[in-house]
Amino acid sequence: MAAELTAHELIARHRPTLDQALEAIRTRAYWSPHPEHPKAYGEHGSLDAAAGKAAFDALLGSRLDLGQPGTDDWVGGEVSPYGIDLGVTYPHADLDVLLPAMRAGQRAWRDAGPEARAVVCLEILKRISDRTHEFAHAVMHTSGQAYMMAFQAGGPHAQDRGLEAVAYAYVEQARTPDTAEWTKPQGKRDPLALTKQFTAVPRGIGLVIGCNTFPTWNGFPGLFASLATGNAVLVKPHPHAVLPLALTVRVAREVLAEAGFDANLVALAAERPGEGIAKTLATRPEIRIIDYTGSTAFGDWLEAHARQAQVYTEKAGVNTVVVESAGDYKGMLSNLAFSLSLYSGQMCTTPQNLLVPRDGIRTDQGHKSFDEFAADLAQAVDGLLGDDARANALLGAIVNPDVKSRLEAAAGLGEVALASREIANPDFPGAVVRTPVIVKLDGAKPDDEAAYMSECFGPVSFLVAVDSAADAVELLRRTVREKGAMTVGAYTTDDEVEQAVQEVCLEEAAQLSLNLTGGVYVNQTAAFSDFHGSGGNPAANAALCDGAFVANRFRVVEVRREA
């Protein structure tokens, strides 16, 4: 095959970046090759804001023909949470044609080896990076994230997570050498001598089941981890968030083909409304790896039924913040207010339960009663979202009617500390924009427990009155153990409480942010440094990203012969 892009060329282009990524996951210091600032784009072949917007606009109402074999129909129907009908249609696949076609190129992809696969993945990420503004619009108009967040979380941060997965996949494969000479002494006799070859072989086809809220951020790690370990990858987006992943598949197919590989190593599985092809796909024998982000119910179903596959799930949890005392009360309030508001709380990492002693808390601003804290937090959120333009930029839009219903119902669960209000979006009159509701509950009341011990996804938080710090710690433990948690936060100036919260997080395997008061938030993690989820509590069976996330996506086959 006459590849336009040789492995040699791609290695020269991307090996330095790969090496930096390998160093970053080893030191876990800050690093990213993907600029966060919108104005950083527009040179060296990347699209600036206007060009990205134009590219997105050109997609609206179009047929996104990926050139996939076995396309038997064109399907679509995405409506932006901002009210726009995207009108894009995608290939619908005859699986009995598409899946075999995806396997055809696997041998060459396997034989290319870990380094060539890694740099092809880096080229895909680079081209996605160049189109970050276009992707940002696609993420915004499927997830409901505000533009700046769609740009950053859906762009550089997602690309970072993809690159991180490539780095882990590379290092995991490279730890076994390609060949070894094995010579075992036999005393006076001749030594035994063998030549051994080791090859990383893929499991088969990886299936990525995307989510509505973070199609790229949650989709990239599994996609790149499977691809970099030699598997073909079929991407099954959430039916309301197809476009960002369809664009991803398009770029991947283009790069694969240019590098001399079969474009069908990456394909899209779009579905008709209500078709529910995830279950069908997940149990196909060709599918040997599944990456899933979404509801606990379907995640549990996958773990139980997709027995032929390695299944990596990120499901739901109940995230808790223990508020015991504060050394910087105002910093805490503003930090919490931001975390509760960002993307209308529609993040798997958004705190839901704030556990506060009913006798109040010690702070650098004096003692604050439970009700004072509630009022101050409400005021902080109000202040943050007081300006409509700023509110729109932070909140984005409500992603679906279920979230809106839960938000409306939440006000009836207890005393409302902060009521949700509607915000108009002048650019998108169809957008449903709401500020968070904060509801007071009593940790000791069984009726309240039913509320705070269930995940209430969306802009709903509960201030849960507890008897003491020890009570908070025990409720934290029970919540993580029974419901899982993607994140835990704690505010305390007391060493013993800090130790107790840490111990719960270590024992129940939850990621802990302590006393955040500045510009880092409990609901945000940075690739190459922070783990997203732990894989050790019910919220997720895997973490982004670690050795366990990649090590079982391939196997090593040894061929040995006498030397």
Point out which residues bind a copy of itself (CB under 8 A): 25-30, 107, 110, 172, 175-177, 180-186, 192, 194, 196, 198-199, 201, 203, 303-304, 307, 502-503, 505-507, 509-520, 526, 529-531, 534-536, 543, 546-548, 551-552, 555-562
Give the separation between CA 10 and CA 16, rounded to whole angstroms: 11
Nearer of residues 233 and 247 to a copy of itself, judged by Cβ = 233
Q: How far is the CB of 214 from a copy of itself (least distance, A)?
A: 20
Nearer of residues 35 and 87 to a copy of itself, judged by Cβ = 35
Q: How far is the CB of 138 from a copy of itself (least distance, A)?
A: 26
Q: How far is the CB of 537 from a copy of itself (least distance, A)?
A: 9
- 3 state DSSP class of 15: helix
Give the separation between CA 48 and CA 258, rounded to whole angstroms: 24
Length, in residues, of the chain: 563
Nearer of residues 11 and 551 to a copy of itself, judged by Cβ = 551
Q: How far is the CB of 274 from a copy of itself (least distance, A)?
A: 30
Nearer of residues 251 and 321 to a copy of itself, judged by Cβ = 321
Tokens of 487: 């994140």
Q: Which amino acid is at 351?
A: P
Cβ neighbours around 90 below 10 Å, total = 27
Nearer of residues 88 and 545 to a copy of itself, judged by Cβ = 545
Q: How far is the CB of 216 from a copy of itself (least distance, A)?
A: 21
Q: How far is the CB of 284 from a copy of itself (least distance, A)?
A: 16
Give the separation between CA 345 and CA 398, rounded to whole angstroms: 9
Sign of the torsion angle spanned by Cα atoms 110, 157, 207, 539: positive
Q: How far is the CB of 132 from a copy of itself (least distance, A)?
A: 18
Q: How far is the CB of 307 from a copy of itself (least distance, A)?
A: 7
Tokens of 475: 């409720």
Q: How far is the CB of 249 from a copy of itself (least distance, A)?
A: 25
Q: How far is the CB of 233 from a copy of itself (least distance, A)?
A: 18
Give the separation between CA 1 and CA 109, rounded to whole angstroms: 13
Q: What is the DSSP string of 267-296?
A: EE-B--TT--HHHHHHT-TTEEEEEEES-H
Nearer of residues 44 and 184 to a copy of itself, judged by Cβ = 184
Nearer of residues 447 and 482 to a copy of itself, judged by Cβ = 482
Nearer of residues 436 and 536 to a copy of itself, judged by Cβ = 536
Nearer of residues 138 and 500 to a copy of itself, judged by Cβ = 500
Tokens of 538: 């019910």
Give the separation between CA 150 and CA 156, rounded to whole angstroms: 10
Alpha carbons within 13 angstroms on the beta-carbon side of residue 167 total 27
- What is the maximum alpha-carbon separation in the chain? 88
Q: How far is the CB of 321 from a copy of itself (least distance, A)?
A: 14
Nearer of residues 296 and 369 to a copy of itself, judged by Cβ = 296
Nearer of residues 183 and 405 to a copy of itself, judged by Cβ = 183
For the chain, how many helices (H) and strands (E)?
19, 21
Q: By the 8 A CB rule, do 492 and 440 touch?
A: no
Alpha helices (H) along 352-423: 370-384, 388-395, 401-410
Give the separation between CA 341 and CA 514, rounded to whole angstroms: 19
Nearer of residues 252 and 504 to a copy of itself, judged by Cβ = 504
Tokens of 166: 């490539």
Q: What is the DSSP string of 158-210?
A: HHHHHHHHHHHHHHHHHTS-SEEEEEEEETTEEEEEEEEEEEEEE-SEEEEE-
Q: By the 8 A CB rule, do 377 and 463 touch?
A: yes
Q: By the 8 A CB rule, do 317 and 538 touch?
A: yes
Q: How far is the CB of 529 from a copy of itself (least distance, A)?
A: 5
Q: By the 8 A CB rule, do 500 and 473 touch?
A: yes
Q: Which amino acid is at 235?
A: V
Q: By the 8 A CB rule, do 398 and 406 touch?
A: no
